[in-house]
Amino acid sequence: MKLIYVVEDHQVIREGVRRYLELAGYKVLGFGNIASVREAFRITKADLLIQDVMLPDGDGFEFVKKLRETVDIPVIFMTARIAEEDRIHGFELGADDYISKPFSPKELVLRVQAIFRRIDGGREADTGHRHRFKAESGILCFDEIEHKVTVNDEPLSLTAAEWRILGLLIENSSRILPRSEILKKCFDYSSESYERIADTHIKNLRAKLGPYPWIETVRGYGYRFIGYPVEESSL
């Protein structure tokens, strides 16, 4: 049973979300502030975090930013902050989704289910191979066995969303991927208004991959992975 942490200071909202998620088959723990969920993470890592932003003891964005340094977990921001810059900031922090209040609890459940489908489906799709790619002086290893990525033997800490995007680009390295396809296959989004989300994740991914441009921007269309596969013997 998947464990979900819900951080929301409004008790009615928190309990409503908890009940809907439990009816959908999840184990849910609710928290009214950052201090309590921070303590919970010291004891048990959840499978997903649903995080409010404006809380009595701190900012949810800052909490998730700090949490990401040590914990790899999918995150949904659930907040009344609906401005585009807030939404983009949430995705810059590696959020898997962002839902604005007021919202339908049924919609939230569907989004949670979609995230777990993507994560579990991606694991099932792994072929159990270690893929290596070369680009100029760089060697990138996309390891499906241990679920990790290295560049020149240096391990990278990728979010679940970044792993999915990089995997999709590698899988389709022979062609250009439009933003719309990245959104659909990695996030179940189809609206053009979300295309900046793809750009934000690509920006974060590039920063982690290092100075060599493993991901090429094709202006006005999308992105393409530009490393080429190499065998162990040719490294």
Bridge partners, 46 (sequence order): none
Instruction: Tell me the C-alpha distance between 171 and 164, whole Å.
Output: 10
- pLDDT number for residue 117: 80
Where are the chain's structural domains? 3-124, 127-234
Measured between alpha carbons, how far is 45 from 86 in angstroms, rounded to an integer? 26
Q: Where are the beta strands (DSSP E) in 24-137?
A: 27-31, 48-51, 54-55, 58-59, 75-79, 97-100, 130-135
pLDDT computed for residue 231 by the predictor: 67
Task: Tell the burial category of 171 from Cβ atoms under 10 Å away from its Cβ (0-12, 13-18, 19+).
Answer: middle
CA distance 170 to 149: 12
- pLDDT at 44 (0 to 100): 93
Class of domain 3-124: alpha beta
- As a 3-state breakdown, the chain gives helix, strand, coil percent values, each rounded to 5, of 45, 25, 30
Give residue 232's pLDDT: 55
Token reading at 30: 């609710």
Q: What pairs with residue 148 in β-bridges? A: 143
Please tell me the predicted confidence (pLDDT) of residue 128. 58
Q: What is the pLDDT of residue 112?
A: 92
Before 229, cis peptide (omega within 30)? no
Over the Cα atoms of the chain, what is R_g?
A: 18
SS3 (DSSP) at 221: coil
CATH class of 127-234: mainly alpha
Mean pLDDT per 10-residue segment, the chain (235 residues): 95 94 95 96 95 94 90 89 82 84 88 83 57 83 84 86 88 87 76 72 89 86 88 50
pLDDT the model gives residue 233: 43
DSSP secondary structure string, 123-186?
HHH--S-EEEEEETTEEEEEETTTTEEEETTEEE---HHHHHHHHHHHHTTTSPEEHHHHHHHH
Q: What are phi and psi of 56, to 5 degrees?
A: -65, -25
